[in-house]
Structure 1
Amino acid sequence: MSWQERIDAVWAGADDLTNDEMVEAIDALVAERPATDAVALFEAAGARDHAGREAEAEPLYRRALQVGLPEPQRAQAVIQLASTLRNLGQAEQSAALLEAELREHPEHDLADAARAFLALAQHDTGRHTDALQLALRALAAHLPQYGRAVSAYASELGAP
C-alpha cells in the first residue's frame, strides 16, 4: 500500500480513533517522509486541526504552503488554514487569506468552499451584510430555478 493510501486509510477510520490516536497515526506516517515534504506537513496539520489543536496546526499549514503543495492540497491548505485562524480568533487574517485565494483562483474547484469560510470570517469581523451577500451569491450559482432572483436580492442587501 502506498504512503498516500495509508494516510487515506487513517482518515477513513478517523471516527473510530480518539483525537490523540488520530494525530499519532498520522505522525507515524509523516515520520516516514522528509521534514520538507509539503504533503506530509499538510497531513500533520490536518490531523491536529481534526483533533482541535489549531494552534499546533497553524504553523504546519504555513510551512506546507511555503514549501509548495500541489493542487488540490494547496487550495485545501489555504481553506483549512483560514478556518484555523478564524478559530484562533484571527478572523481578519482569515478573511484576508481567503479574499486573496478567491482573487487568484476564482474558478477553482474549491472556490465555493473558500467562499463559505470567507462568509464565516466576514461574519466574525462584523461584516454581516458582506457575509450574507457572499453566501447567497455562492448559493445562487447552484439554484437553476431561483438563482437569478437570489443573486438580485443579494445585490440589494445593504443598498440605501
Structure 2
Amino acid sequence: AHDSTGQPVEAVRHYTRALELGLTGLRRRRAVIQLASSLRNLGRPDRSVELLTEERSLPAERLDADELALSPAVDAFLALALADTGRDREAASLALGALAPLLPRYNRSLAHYARDLLKARHGS
C-alpha cells in the first residue's frame, strides 16, 4: 500500500521487517521483488541487483508453482536494476532470455542471441 501511495521509504521499512520476521512462500517472493523495486526507485539499484540476483539463484526445487510463476518478474525487475547500474548488455540479455520461451517461434534463436550478448562483452 505504501508503494502505491508514493511512500517508498515506508514501504522499504515494512518489506524489510516482514522478511526479517521470516516471511515465507509466495508472499516472501513478492516482498523481495517489491523491496528491490522500491530500492531501485529510491536510487539504490545496486542493492536491488543484489536482492534479485540472490532471489534468482534459488533452486527451482525449493520453490512451489506459484513462486516459480514469478520468476519472469524477478528477471524483469533485475533487468531494470541492471540497466540502472550501467550493465545494459546484461539487462538486455536477461530480458531477452526471459522473453524467448514466450514466443511462438524463434525461441531458440532469441535465447542464443541473449547469451551471445554476454559473450561478446566478456570475450568468451
Give the TM-score normalised by the residue count of structure 1. 0.68
Please state how far the C-alpha of 1:105 moved relative to its aligned partner: 4.5
**2:84 aligned with 1:124, yes or no?**
yes
Distance in 2 between residues matched to 1:105 and 1:58, nearest whole Å: 26
Give the TM-score normalised by the residue count of structure 2. 0.86
Q: Corresponding residue for 1:71?
A: 25
Q: Which residues in structure 2 correspond to 1:1-160 (within 5 Å)?
A: 47-106=1-60, 108-158=68-118, 159=120, 160=123
Matched to 1:95, the amino acid is V
Please state how far the C-alpha of 1:93 moved relative to its aligned partner: 0.2
**Alpha carbons 1:105, 1:111 under 8 Å: kept:** no
Distance in 1 between residues matched to 2:47 and 2:59, nearest whole Å: 18
Q: Which has the higher contact order (CA 8 A, sep 6+)?
A: 2
Distance in 2 between residues matched to 1:105 and 1:123, nearest whole Å: 25
Q: CA RMSD for the aligned pairs?
A: 1.4
Please state how far the C-alpha of 1:59 moved relative to its aligned partner: 1.0
Higher alpha-carbon Rg: 1
Aligned-residue sequence identity (percent) comes to 48
Give unpaired runs (5+ residues) of structure 2. Answer: none
**Alpha carbons 1:95, 1:118 under 8 Å: kept:** yes
SS of residue in 2 equivalent to 1:157: helix
